[in-house]
Structure 1
Amino acid sequence: MNHLDDHDGAQYICKVLYESLQIPVFLLDANRRIELALPSSSESAPWVHNINELLSEIVDPTKSENISNHDSSNSSIPIIRTTNFLENYILLHLPLELSGGRIIVVGPSLYTQLSGDNVSSLMHDNDVPHGLQDQWLTYYRSLPVLNRMRLYHTAMLLYSLVTGKTLTLSELLLDSRVLEPKQLSSDSLDLDVSYRRENTWLHHEPIMEKALFHHVKNGNKAELLRVQATFSEENYGVLSKKSQLRSKKNLAVSCITLATRAAIDGGLYWEISYTLSDFHIQHIEELKDIPAVDHAILNALCDFADHVRNNRSAQLSRTVAICQNYIFNHLYEELSLDKLAVVASLNRSYLSQLFKKETGFTVSDFIQIERIEEAKRLIELPGISLSDIATRLHFNDQSYFTKVFKKYTGITPRQFKTNKESNSN
């Protein structure tokens, strides 16, 4: 750590980090004033009037309610902080005896790029006037994206550059208190368990829950409805003390999460299952009364069961199901038997035989069928031309796309489009 005795040592580390990762880096002096900023100028957050004040709040989150506090300011381990606006920062307090109390701040960055809808919901959560959306979008699109693991590795790298020592991921997460679960009182837990037993106000038996999601997994809606009807309202837990509606919504989210896993186990493509989960949870969050939530939970369970029942891969081996799932998720990329053989960790010849035996189709035919099914969905969307669809789905040209489309549907893409438009009028 002796290199930090040199005034330029910390600045050198900041410059190396910035040049390597192209993420903003600040060096603050002992008075929390900016000593070095890289880059020297950048897009400022619309809600920030003074960058020095913002960084001071990041370093000392007790000054602001907009920062999640993960650690005290004296930690020698990097601290990861996230604002209410989803910006991520890494802090490292340089050794006091060598640096005079300086601090390196890395950020802001995002875990993932935000869509317009994401930004709108953030503005709503923070009571920001809707008219500022363009300004917010411009700011968020200027931020670098570091997924969670890259952000953690950046913090570990910063620690090693400063101290010359290694830092494991578990040391980072535990010592910097990124993971800081609230400890429940054992007395409170015991008291509540005793109260529920004394009043025979018990949760539902786990075997009932298993039966419910077993029927989701098997796509058996009739049995699903029968089991669900046996659940008593008093058997549900209280998932919010302040609001019955919030408690019911939390229960719905838990139920849909379990149904999502059951559907995947039943052979439903995981991307479909997760997306289905998103749609139902988003719908439930918008509801205003408990009966509507109850109805939505039941509808979601039935929807999962229906999708599992209609899914063609439900009875396939795990290997072929993995391949079909990969094809479904990567239709917009180049696909080949060789690539699938790598995914399945099998010899291409054996995989080809296994796939044909279980599905009745060659791998190439199945890929074409899935692309035609996707093309049919795209044709129904406004503003997408047939030539654009052909290009997106990796058909060599539009004439070849038309030939393959007619092979599997009996009509041309243009005829399909015309028929759909006629039926909708």
Structure 2
Amino acid sequence: MLNHLDGHEGAQYICKVLYESLQIPVFLLDANRRIELALPSSSESAPWVHNLNELLSEIADSTKSENNSDHDSSNASIPIIRTTNFLENYILLHLPSGSSNGGSIVIGPTLYTHLSEDNMTSLMRDHEVPLKLQEQWMKYYRSLTVLNKMRLYHTAMLMYSLVTGKTLSLSELLLDTRTLEHKQPPAGSLDLDVSYRRENTWLHHEPMLEKALFHHIKNGNKAELLRVQATFSEDNYGVLSKKSHLRNKKNLAISCITLATRAAIDGGLYWEISYTLSDFHIQHIEELKDVPAVDHAILNALCDFADHVKESRMAKLSRTVALCQNYIFNHLYEELSLDKLAEVAGLNRSYLSLLFKKETGFTISDFIQFERIVEAKRLIELPGISLSDIATRLHFNDQSYFTKVFKKYTGTTPKQFRRNWESTL
């Protein structure tokens, strides 16, 4: 606790403890926002940062007046979590004015999750990064430590306790951060806008229409879905962007697909299929250049969800067997065992085996094999993946066993399947 140590030495001690425990960069800034201690002593800065001291000073200064507005200057303020435009996360804690001359401790940068090559490419495109610098950017992102949100929050809470000797609840941290991040209310008045809509009878669609639409997706009923969708009036849609009609349409489409995704999951569609289907349709809509194309894309997306739900519901499985199938689908690239599935289902091995066989006609091991061959067929159609790599990734013992199982379910070998597929291109 900082009070029980000399202010200057205590702050340095806490920084060292945090760094040795977390292996994340930790900085101690003095009252003038200059770096007094950096751990590690040297590390690679972001390619876009020319002066690390200026970056940390800017972040610290931007939070100082806000964070201390409701706190006594003799006490440490609540930690602040800041995310940069480049997706880096920093935790900042302004120290009590009597400790370390009122400086600050900064932890970071970290990422919430590993960035895929596609994500990094998109980010660099957004920031118009020249081609010659892109490898340097990628190297930097790969070097960053990943702390998911909950670990980041608990790191902030730990730092607060080390400095003050007091506890800080998660809700206190998040409420304080939320207040700072969203202190500016949205433009316009809710009451005024509602009054305007009522006066001009420019009302949103009735909730029951929306409920009926997604009910038909949940049931996989495309015909009824199309009938209900045709009753929606263009005048009854909300306004999600005032600056661009095309952007407004895309935002409405994204909202609609999000709700359709949940309806499809409620209808029994594997959630990973549902989420991936959502990703594909939203990515497609983002690329469109005119409003009619977006309108068509929304309708196609809704129908696509209904079709997939209909296909999945034809099996008429119990919740237990459907749960096992969903687990198998999501964990095909991992070792799968009857014991693990019994644990997931909350049943003993023997009863689960009998139930699964009765409802699907497959033993559990055969179903896992079948799903892996379905996945193998998808991978074979992708360029640059060898057959031996596919066999290894899907946990087949060797190439010959993979070939044997593949032929059992497809009637052809993997090589023949790839050759036949390539001949159709």
Question: Aligning the two structures, in what range does the TM-score lie when normalised by the shorter sequence?
Answer: over 0.9
Please tell me whether the aligned partners of residues 308 and 314 of structure 1 are also in contact (alpha carbons under 8 angstroms).
Answer: no
Partner of 1:211: 212
Deviation at 1:304, TM superposition (A): 1.1
Q: CA deviation at 1:188?
A: 2.4
Assess, with a 3 A threshold, how the Cα gap between structure 1 residues 242 and 314 changes in structure 2: closer, same or farther. Answer: farther
Q: Which moved more, 1:35-44 or 1:70-79?
A: 70-79
1:380 aligns with 2:381: yes
Bigger shift: residues 21-30 or 72-81: 72-81
1:41 and 1:332 mapped to 2: Cα distance? 39
Name the counterpart of 1:24: 25
Between 233-242 and 123-132, the greater mean CA deviation after superposition: 123-132
Residue 87 (structure 1) aligns with: 88
CA contact (8 A) 2:77 2:95 kept: yes
Q: For each residue in 1:290-338, what CA deviation from the matched residue of structure 2 results, as whole angstroms up to 9, or x when unmatched?
A: 1111111111111111221222676322222221111111101100110
Q: CA deviation at 1:343?
A: 1.6
Q: What is the deviation of 1:179? A: 7.2
Residue 350 of structure 1 and its aligned partner are, at CA, apart by 2.1
- CA spacing shift, 1:225–1:312, aligned 2, 3 Å: closer
Task: State the Cα deviation string for residues 105-139 of structure 1 (Å, max 9, x = none).
Answer: 00000001112322232223334334321111111
1:231 lines up with 2:205 in the alignment:
no
Q: CA deviation at 1:182?
A: 5.7
Q: Within 2, Cα distance between the matches of 1:235 and 1:225?
A: 17
Which runs of no fewer than 5 residues in structure 2 stay unpaired?
none
**Aligned to 2:102, what secondary structure does the other structure show?**
coil
Matching residue of 2:353: 352
Alpha-carbon displacement from aligned partner over 1:223-276 (angstroms, at most 9, x marks no partner): 111111110000101111222111111101100000000111111111111111
Change (3 A) 1:194 1:59: same
Tell me the secondary structure at the aligned position of residue 46 of structure 2: coil
Kept in 2: contact 1:267–1:313 (CA 8 A): no
CA distance in 1, matches of 2:359, 2:123: 47
> Are residue 306 (structure 1) and residue 307 (structure 2) matched?
yes
Deviation track 1:140-173 (CA, whole Å, cap 9, x = no partner) reads 1111111111111111111111112211110110
Distance 1:314 1:410, change over 3 A: closer
- The 10-residue stretch of structure 1 (306-315 or 143-152) with the greater mean CA deviation from structure 2: 306-315
User: Following TM superposition, by how much is the alpha carbon of 1:22 offset from its aligned partner in structure 2, in angstroms?
Assistant: 1.0
CA deviation map 1:57-91 (0-9, x unaligned):
1112389xxxxx98458661111001101100000
Q: What one-letter code is carried by the residue in structure 1 that aligns with 2:31?
A: A
Task: Give yes or no for the alignment of 1:120 onto 2:121.
Answer: yes
The verdict on how the C-alpha distance between 1:420 and 1:86 changes in structure 2, with shifts beyond 3 A counting, is same
1:97 is paired with a residue of what secondary structure? coil
CA contact (8 A) 1:27 1:36 kept: yes
Which whole-Å CA distance do the structure 2 matches of 1:70 and 1:323 have between them?
50
Counterpart for residue 138 of structure 2: 137
- In structure 2, what is the equivalent of residue 404 of structure 1? 405
Change (3 A) 1:316 1:262: same
Shift of the 120–385 alpha-carbon distance from structure 1 to 2, 3 Å rule, reads closer
SS at structure 1 position matched to 2:109: strand
In the other structure, the counterpart of 1:173 is 174
CA distance in 2, matches of 1:186, 1:22: 42
RMSD between aligned alpha carbons?
A: 2.2
Q: Percent identity among equivalent residues?
A: 83
Off by >4 Å, runs of 4+ in structure 1: 69-75, 178-187
| Inter-CA distance 394–405: structure 2 relative to 1 (3 Å threshold) | same
Q: Any stretches of 5+ residues in structure 1 without a counterpart?
A: 64-68
Structure 1 residues 185 and 83: alpha-carbon distance in aligned structure 2, compared to 1, 3 A threshold: closer
Residues 216, 259 of structure 1: 8 Å contact kept:
yes
Q: Do the aligned partners of residues 213 and 192 (structure 1) sit closer, same or farther apart at CA in structure 2, a change above 3 Å counting?
A: same
**Which residue of structure 2 aligns with residue 366 of structure 1?**
367
Match of 2:297 in 1: 296
TM-score, structure 1 as length reference: 0.93
Q: Distance in 1 between matches of 2:414 and 2:192?
A: 66
Aligned residue identity for 1:268 = L
| Residue 204 of structure 1: how far off its partner (Å) | 0.8
Deviation of 1:414 after TM superposition, in Å, equals 1.9
Aligned pairs, number: 419
Q: Note the 1:238-257 alignment, pairs <5 A.
A: 238-257=239-258
Aligned twin of 1:110: 111
SS in 2 for 1:35: strand
